[in-house]
């Protein structure tokens, strides 16, 4: 499978996940802060509500799609060990589509058309079909999260992931042959789809103060967007980091 991000060809530095040096610095700061404080002990304040907003990326490596954006979460805690929350992510990026990503039936159709063009002398020698595309993805999920609060300045959490993902893809044909293929696959000029995703995730809250924590989290989910065009589903890693705000009644009994 040959895929290369359109932005990566223009800006090679994008081949390394953007923002990673910043994330490393934040994590080092958090670890330093954590080691400087007592580790074990009862968490004396656990708020009824929490909210999070931070930098996020979605990495779908099997199609080489790397999208950057923002993640937002709000939650309520019925118990100290249980939260129920809503999660939203919006991210955008670029990729390039090649025929080997498509359904076998579409590959055969395009191959037959290219054979006709070649026979008529209308296909340039060595022509390879590559269609750059931009992508905007949004995820929505609602569900439980389990917390482990054995440490005074550190909370660990795990969650199942079940939700919906919406993706809008806009192809950018670079030549008349690619434009003709795009007209068949996406007559309106864009392609949008909704799908259910499933997976799991978790992370760490480093407690900075009574109402503030630094949250680092990751999820691994599966979906099969554009299953009328693409032959395979994909696994996507979502990573995010940012401040979490705790507020409301103390539910520690």
pLDDT of the residue at 22: 54
pLDDT digits (tens, 9 = 90+) for 43-90: 889 999 999 999 999 999 888 899 999 999 999 999 999 999 999 999
List the Cα angle 77/55/251 in 5-degree steps: 15
Contact 80, 103 (CB under 8 A): no
pLDDT digits (tens, 9 = 90+) for 80-116: 999 999 999 999 999 889 999 999 999 999 999 999 9
State CA 71 to chain mean position distance.
9
CB neighbour class for 238 (10 Å; exposed up to 12, middle 13-18, buried from 19)? buried
Residue 29, pLDDT > 70, answer no
User: For residue 167, is it left (φ>0), alpha (ψ between -120 and 50) or beta?
Assistant: beta
Q: Which long-range contacts (CB under 8 A, 24 or more apart) does 177-181 make?
A: 177/117, 177/123, 177/127, 177/129, 178/129, 178/130, 178/131, 181/110, 181/129, 181/131
pLDDT digits (tens, 9 = 90+) for 116-140: 999 999 999 989 999 999 999 999 9
pLDDT of the residue at 106: 95
Residue 249, pLDDT > 60, answer yes
Q: Per-domain residue ranges for the chain?
A: 6-250
What would the two tokens of residue 241 be?
Answer: 């980091």
Q: CATH fold of 6-250, please?
A: Porin (2.40.160)
């Amino acid at each position: 499978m040959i895929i290369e991000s359109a932005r990566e060809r223009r800006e090679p530095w994008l081949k390394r996940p953007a923002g990673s040096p910043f994330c490393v610095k934040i994590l080092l700061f958090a670890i330093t802060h954590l080691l400087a404080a007592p580790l074990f002990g009862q968490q004396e304040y656990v708020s009824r509500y929490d909210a999070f907003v931070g930098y996020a990326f979605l990495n779908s490596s099997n199609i080489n799609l790397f999208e950057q954006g923002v993640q937002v979460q709000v939650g309520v805690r019925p118990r100290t060990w249980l939260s129920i929350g809503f999660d939203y992510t919006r991210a955008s990026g670029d990729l390039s589509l090649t025929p080997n990503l498509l359904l076998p039936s579409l590959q055969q159709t395009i191959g037959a058309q290219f054979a006709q063009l070649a026979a008529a002398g209308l296909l340039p020698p060595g022509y390879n079909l590559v269609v750059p595309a931009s992508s905007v993805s949004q995820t929505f999920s609602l569900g439980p999260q389990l917390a482990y609060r054995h440490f005074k300045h550190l909370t660990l959490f795990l969650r199942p992931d079940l939700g919906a993902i919406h993706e809008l893809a806009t192809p950018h044909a670079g030549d008349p042959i690619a434009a003709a293929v795009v007209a068949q696959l996406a007559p309106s000029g864009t392609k949008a789809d909704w799908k259910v995703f499933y997976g799991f995730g978790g992370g760490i809250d480093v407690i900075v103060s009574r109402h503030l924590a630094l949250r680092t989290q990751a999820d691994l989910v599966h979906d099969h967007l554009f299953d009328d065009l693409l032959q395979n589903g994909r696994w996507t890693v979502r990573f995010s980091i940012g401040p979490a705000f705790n507020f409301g009644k103390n539910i520690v009994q």
